[in-house]
Structure 1
Amino acid sequence: MSFVDESSGWAGGGTPDEKAFIVQTKDGGRTWRALAAPTAYVTAGDELRFIDAQHGWLRTSVMIASTGGCAVPSTAPSACRSVILHTSDGGGTWQEQLSVDQPSKLGPGLRALTVLDDRHAWAVQLGSSRPSVNSCLPCTPFDAAIGVVATSDGSTWAPVGDLPAFVDGMHFVDAQTGFASVHTAKNEPGTPTNTASIVVTHDGGRTWSTQLSVDGQGPRFSLDFIDTKVGFALRMDVTTCGGSDCWLYGLYRTGDAGQTWSAVLSTPADILSAWWSPRSRLALLGSPTFASATVGWIPVQRDLTQAGFSGGVLITLNGGRSWSRTPAAPDGWDVSGLAARGSSAWVVGRRASDQNSFLSHTGDRGQTWDYSLLMRP
């Protein structure tokens, strides 16, 4: 999902029978119209990035064989390719700009798409770190090369550098400065503990240096910057996720472009001392999205087959110091995507009551939500 202002936005996804769709709104989500799907396969995990009413990019997967879709097999060659598509007419038509193998063990060969303007965009491309192996079809997190590819003319892509560890997300704030969240792979040989780090580049992605690191069994960071100076990082540890329940979350903030990071909220000792409200069992927190230095949102995913787990939407009005569920977003929502502009936010997900997919909008910071579109599975 991507919004360029409080009126114009796009959302995309795929149905269970692998029919792709992209929809567009020009009135803040009150009405939506369907656009021609650019590929045969678009999923909720794809990355859709618009920078104005005309120009946007989509990172998705394209099936190259009828062998069961784009699910990640354990050993067989992938049935899909990872592609980056571009539109210059608001999503009416799409052109392929980059296409790579989808590694069979690691999922999409392209990921972490970040867009600055109509000329500058970056993504991560997985490749083999072994000179004798060109593709990454046999790669594992231990031996994959985590390369950064970029375009500076809005159409042609080229490698620019390598990240130091496996990537979770990337965000550029200008043509030279970008941030990435990375982690060492679980049980990586020679690594006594697993580490999650925030790294920065000041040369367009060619070289990277570490700003913040934390150790743990399975630590991860997800990032969001509201401008060139102010950013937030949500920390989690995947080892605390039992079934559908995760609870070891912390929040960091920087006000000086990452030169220093301070803990806004520390990770709780247990779920009963969690910093979100209400303190019931949560599923998986998504990446934070801040509309300003004070107002931020976090989507909450839940397993619709499990009772007792809470989804919905979290909001902060004080820069992340406290969070609560928006009152009109029920905990039965399984929210997979969120966009925010000003006092408005839009979410996409599924409902526990009937497992229907939906798009919903709030214009009053979560006090009320309006269903914009329902899609039956």
Structure 2
Amino acid sequence: MTLTRMILRSLPVAGLAAATLAAGLGGTADAAPHKPGSSLGWKLTDTGVQSRFRGLAAVDRNTAWAAGSGGTVLRTVNGGRTWAKVAPADAAGLEFRDVEAFDADNAVVLAIGEGDASRVYRTSNGGRTWTTGFTNGDPNAFYDCMTFFDRKNGLAVSDPVDGKFRILSTADGGRSWKVLPNAGMPAALPGEAAFAASGQCLVSHGARDAWIATGGGASSRVFHSRDRGRTWTVTNAPLPSGAAAGVFGLAFRDARHGVAVGGDYRPGEASPKAAATTGDAGRSWRLAPRPPAEYRSGVTYVGPLLLAVGPTGSDVSRDNGRTWKRFDTGSFDTVSCAHGGCWASGEKGRIARMG
């Protein structure tokens, strides 16, 4: 079965939408170079900005949200033909690193940084107006990523405060947040942190399971919660770890099967162990026998397939992350797929759609 057919079978599209996706998967002239004969390719869109977009949320083939540097938030509702600037009015200079979108109107964005630079905003009218759901008041906290289990319940994670990762929780769609008790959080390693590189250092699946990806310490690790962030277990991951290395992105296709990607993000540094897989909800991890050749920061499932992206290219796996093949050499930081649409984003205003 071709990759085109596998993606078509795995995405919930039908009729004209399916035919359009099939026609577009062969690649386009304005996409980054990709290998001859590949059935996958990104089509770059014109965002009109130079921000770096590490936060990305696909809603469907037509609608996506992107959050980036310089206080920039963009939204498209026409497949990327045009992008509207929809950032909060007081966001100039903030570094947005994550966005979770429920539809064309409702989205939540996370800004990172020390002290009150870490903030969460919510909109219910497509970004015309925003409310501030959370402003960090602790100078020792630095929030990196967030995730939602459903339209109401979500979490955000901060780098360790007093030796433990700090978890925020919302039960009203991001309108308000509270810090959860840390009694159920294992101690962090010296230097351990989460990387705010793709909005995927904290992910969830189903109604209660969440995972945190870390690096920076003596070992890269993955934390797992089965109760929406109240208690956690932690396991070493076989990816390299160091000041610039660790697990950068996670994706789970169900409560047991997942993949971790990462490596060393410094340009020119080798990352021969850039991916690992789990079949037991993260209790154990195995290195991919044939991982992506270089550091990857973002990863997502597309039905039975996996896509991973990084500054040096995009890769696909059709065997649950064990072996990977590069299909594009353009620079991206994160990737998101939902309801017939796959999108990738990164530096210099780059946002692309597949097909």
**Shared topology, TM-score over 0.5?**
yes
Which of these residues, 280, 297, 305, is aligned with residue 344 of structure 1?
A: 305
Which of these residues, 187, 197, 201, is aligned with residue 166 of structure 2?
A: 197
Which of these residues, 97, 104, 111, is aligned with residue 86 of structure 2?
A: 97
String of CA shifts for 1:145-178, please: whole Å, max 9, x gaps.
5332111133323223324432111112233321
Alignment pair present for 1:109 and 2:95: yes
Structure 2 CA distance for partners of 1:215 and 1:319, relative to 1, 3 Å: closer
Q: For residue 45 of structure 2, what is the aligned residue in structure 1?
A: 36
CA–CA distance in structure 2, aligned partners of residues 366 and 184 of structure 1: 29
Q: Percent identity?
A: 22
String of CA shifts for 1:69-96, please: whole Å, max 9, x gaps.
xxxxxxxxxxxx3211111112222111
Q: For residue 233 of structure 1, what is the aligned residue in structure 2?
A: 212
Alignment pair present for 1:182 and 2:154: no
Q: For residue 87 of structure 1, what is the aligned residue in structure 2?
A: 76
Q: For residue 50 of structure 1, what is the aligned residue in structure 2?
A: 58
Contact 2:56 2:100 (8 Å CA) reproduced: no
Runs of 4+ aligned residues of structure 1 deviating over 6 Å after TM superposition are: 279-282
- Greater strand content: 1
**AA partner of residue 358 (structure 1):** G
Alignment pair present for 1:224 and 2:179: no
Alignment pair present for 1:207 and 2:177: yes
Q: For residue 131 of structure 2, what is the aligned residue in structure 1?
A: 159
**AA partner of residue 374 (structure 1):** T
Contact 1:41 1:60 (8 Å CA) reproduced: no
Matches within 5 A, 1:273-352: 275-276=237-238, 283-302=245-264, 303-306=266-269, 310-330=272-292, 332-349=293-310
Structure 2 CA distance for partners of 1:151 and 1:248, relative to 1, 3 Å: same
Which of these residues, 173, 194, 199, is aligned with residue 149 of structure 2?
A: 173
Structure 2 CA distance for partners of 1:34 and 1:319, relative to 1, 3 Å: same
CA–CA distance in structure 2, aligned partners of residues 250 and 367 of structure 1: 19
Q: Secondary structure at the match of 2:118?
A: strand
Q: Secondary structure at the match of 1:333?
A: coil
Q: Secondary structure at the match of 2:62?
A: coil
Q: For residue 59 of structure 1, what is the aligned residue in structure 2?
A: 67
CA–CA distance in structure 2, aligned partners of residues 35 and 232 of structure 1: 31
CA–CA distance in structure 2, aligned partners of residues 4 and 254 of structure 1: 32
CA–CA distance in structure 2, aligned partners of residues 56 and 153 of structure 1: 14
- Offset at residue 6 of structure 1 (A): 4.0
Q: Secondary structure at the match of 1:118?
A: coil
CA RMSD of aligned residues (A): 3.5
Pair member with larger Rg? 1
CA–CA distance in structure 1, aligned partners of residues 241 and 164 of structure 2: 28
Which of these residues, 313, 319, 326, is aligned with residue 358 of structure 1?
A: 313
Q: For residue 347 of structure 2, what is the aligned residue in structure 1?
A: none
Higher relative contact order (CA closer than 8 Å, sequence separation 6+): 2
TM-score, normalised with respect to structure 2: 0.69
CA–CA distance in structure 1, aligned partners of residues 48 and 104 of structure 2: 22
Where structure 1 has 5 or more consecutive residues not aligned to the other structure, the ranges are 10-20, 24-28, 62-80, 127-139, 186-192, 241-246, 268-274, 351-356
Structure 2 CA distance for partners of 1:235 and 1:299, relative to 1, 3 Å: closer
- Offset at residue 225 of structure 1 (A): 0.4
Q: Secondary structure at the match of 1:199?
A: strand
